[in-house]
C-alpha cells in the first residue's frame, strides 16, 4: 500500500458518486414504493409496537390488525396501492438499505485508502472498527423470538399463554 505522509494523493482521486447515483442505489436497495412522511410514520409506529410485543409478530398481519396496532384507519386507504403492503410489512427494509449503502461506502473506502495520508488512514481504520463493533453488538442483541414460527412462539410462550387463559374471565 502506498500512502504519502504529506496527505497528498499518489494518484488522481476516483470520482465520488453523485447525489443522483446514491439516490438510484438507494432505490435499488429498497422496494419500488415511494412512501410519504405520513406513511413512514405509520410504518414506524407499527414496527415499534410489534417489537415491543412479539406476540403481534406471529403470522402475516391482516389489514384490520395493522389498523388496530397503529390506531388509525389510514392503512385502509393505502393498502391497495401497488407496493404499499409489501413495503409496509417488510420489517428489515431500513437495515437492508443501510447494509447496501455501507457496502458501497466500504468499496469506495477500499479505493481511497491507498491514497490516504497516515493520519486519515488511521482515522478511517478507527471509523471502520466502530462500524464493525456496533454491528456485532447489534447482532448480539437480537430478539430471542425473532424468526420463530407461530407454533414455535406458542411453544416458547406456552406457560405465559396458559396463565393468561387461566386468569381471563370465562
pLDDT tens track for 102-148: 888 888 878 887 788 888 888 888 888 888 777 767 665 666 666 66
Confidence band, pLDDT 50/70/90 cuts, at residue 77: very high
Confidence band, pLDDT 50/70/90 cuts, at residue 75: very high
Q: Are 58 and 155 contacting, i.e. CB atoms less than 8 angstroms apart?
A: no
Report if residue 102 sits inside a domain: yes
Confidence band, pLDDT 50/70/90 cuts, at residue 6: very low
Report if residue 152 sits inside a domain: yes
Residue 126 is placed in which grid cell? 478507527
Report if residue 77 sits inside a domain: yes
Domain of 139 in residue numbering reads as: 19-167
Number of domains in the chain: 1
In this predicted structure, what is the pLDDT of residue 63?
Answer: 92
Count Cβ atoms within 10 A of the Cβ of residue 50 and give its class: 0-12 exposed, 13-18 middle, 19 or more buried: middle
Which comes out higher in pLDDT, residue 30 or 68?
68
Report if residue 123 sits inside a domain: yes
Report if residue 156 sits inside a domain: yes
In this predicted structure, what is the pLDDT of residue 71?
Answer: 93
User: How far apart, in whole angstroms, are the C-alpha atoms of residue 154 and residue 164?
Assistant: 13
Strand ranges inside 109-160, DSSP E:
none
On average, the pLDDT of the chain sits at 75
Q: Are 121 and 113 contacting, i.e. CB atoms less than 8 angstroms apart?
A: yes
Report if residue 161 sits inside a domain: yes
Report if residue 14 sits inside a domain: no
Amino acid at each position: 500500500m502506498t500512502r504519502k505522509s504529506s496527505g497528498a494523493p499518489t494518484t488522481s482521486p476516483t470520482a465520488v458518486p453523485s447525489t443522483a447515483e446514491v439516490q438510484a442505489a438507494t432505490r435499488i436497495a429498497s422496494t419500488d414504493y415511494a412512501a410519504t412522511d405520513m406513511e413512514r410514520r405509520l410504518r414506524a409506529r407499527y414496527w415499534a409496537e410489534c417489537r415491543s410485543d412479539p406476540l403481534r409478530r406471529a403470522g402475516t398481519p391482516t389489514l384490520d390488525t395493522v389498523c388496530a396496532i397503529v390506531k388509525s384507519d389510514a392503512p385502509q386507504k393505502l393498502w391497495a396501492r401497488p407496493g404499499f403492503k409489501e413495503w409496509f410489512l417488510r420489517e428489515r427494509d431500513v437495515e437492508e438499505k443501510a447494509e447496501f449503502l455501507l457496502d458501497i461506502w466500504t468499496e469506495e473506502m477500499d479505493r481511497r485508502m491507498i491514497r490516504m495520508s497516515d493520519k486519515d488512514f488511521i482515522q478511517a481504520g478507527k471509523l471502520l472498527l466502530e462500524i464493525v463493533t456496533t454491528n456485532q453488538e447489534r447482532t448480539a442483541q437480537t430478539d430471542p423470538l425473532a424468526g420463530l414460527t407461530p407454533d414455535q412462539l406458542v411453544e416458547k410462550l406456552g406457560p405465559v399463554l396458559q396463565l393468561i387463559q387461566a386468569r381471563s374471565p370465562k
